[in-house]
């Protein structure tokens, strides 16, 4: 097969991002740099996990990196959220991009120790394209971070939010 058109032309992006879903079920992407705590957060808030949820197929028990999209669900306010836990590794960005096209909303997890990292920025960009008005930023690992780092992160989050 020869593809002559770019898969995501500016026109198709506008089409995909024009209207959030009005159905009672929403797709929620869980995004952020590797190790920021996406899978931990997803595990905490999910009511039900699929067989691919929560790093079930990680290749090693030593460092349970998320290698693929993980699917689980939660009920809130009479709506069902499909939680799509995304891999935070730079090499897996294609999977995140593919998933992003069906996001109605996103949660971007930021590690308070490291601040905004490369994949945090990439994922924020995707969220700003696909669900700009339904984005939650979560500052994580504040139990480990110095107060100064937390303040810097909060400042960065305000700046980021004003760009989106």
Q: Left if phi > 0, otherwise alpha if psi is -120 to 50, otherwise beta: which for 141?
A: left
Nearer to ligand GDP, 17 or 40 (CB): 40
Binder to ligand GDP among 27, 36, 72, 120 (CB under 6 A)? 36
Binder to ligand GDP among 26, 46, 53, 66 (CB under 6 A)? 66
Residue given tokens 């780092």 in the structure block:
149
Say whether residue 115 binds ligand GDP (CB under 6 A). no
Q: Strand pairing of 70-76 and 25-31?
A: unpaired
CA–CA dist 43, 45 (Å, integer): 6
List all residues 6 or more positions away from 34 whose beta carbon is below 8 Å from its beta carbon.
65, 66, 87, 88, 89, 119
Binding partner of residue 40 among ligand GDP, Mg ion, none, CB under 5 to 8 Å per kind? Answer: ligand GDP
Say whether residue 149 binds ligand GDP (CB under 6 A). no
| Residue among 56, 85, 83, 80 at smallest CA distance from 70 | 85
Say whether residue 39 binds ligand GDP (CB under 6 A). yes
Nearer to Mg ion, 20 or 64 (CB): 64
Binder to Mg ion among 27, 36, 39, 149 (CB under 5 A)? 39
CA–CA dist 135, 154 (Å, integer): 15
Say whether residue 100 binds Mg ion (CB under 5 A). no
Q: At what angle do helices 10-17 and 118-130 cross, to 10 degrees?
A: 70
Residues in binding contact with ligand GDP, number by CB under 6 A:
14
CA–CA dist 108, 106 (Å, integer): 6
Binder to ligand GDP among 28, 34, 126, 157 (CB under 6 A)? 34
Binding site for Mg ion (CB under 5 A): 38-39, 66
Binding site for ligand GDP (CB under 6 A): 32, 34-40, 66, 88, 140-141, 143-144
């Amino acid at each position: 097969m020869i593809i002559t058109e770019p898969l995501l032309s500016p026109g198709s992006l506008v089409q995909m991002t024009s209207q959030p879903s009005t159905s009672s079920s929403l797709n929620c992407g869980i995004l952020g740099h590797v190790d920021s705590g996406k899978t931990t957060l997803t595990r905490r808030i999910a009511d039900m996990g699929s067989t691919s949820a929560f790093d079930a197929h990680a290749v090693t028990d030593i460092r349970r990196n998320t290698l693929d999209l993980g699917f689980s669900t939660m009920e809130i306010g009479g709506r069902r959220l499909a939680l799509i836990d995304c891999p935070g590794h730079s090499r897996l960005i294609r999977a995140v991009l593919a998933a992003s096209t069906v996001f109605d909303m996103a949660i971007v997890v930021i590690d308070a120790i490291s601040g905004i990292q490369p994949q945090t920025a990439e994922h924020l960009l995707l969220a700003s394209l696909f669900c700009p008005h339904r984005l939650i930023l979560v500052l994580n690992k504040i139990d480990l971070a110095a107060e100064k780092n937390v303040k810097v992160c909060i400042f960065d989050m305000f700046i980021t939010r004003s760009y989106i």
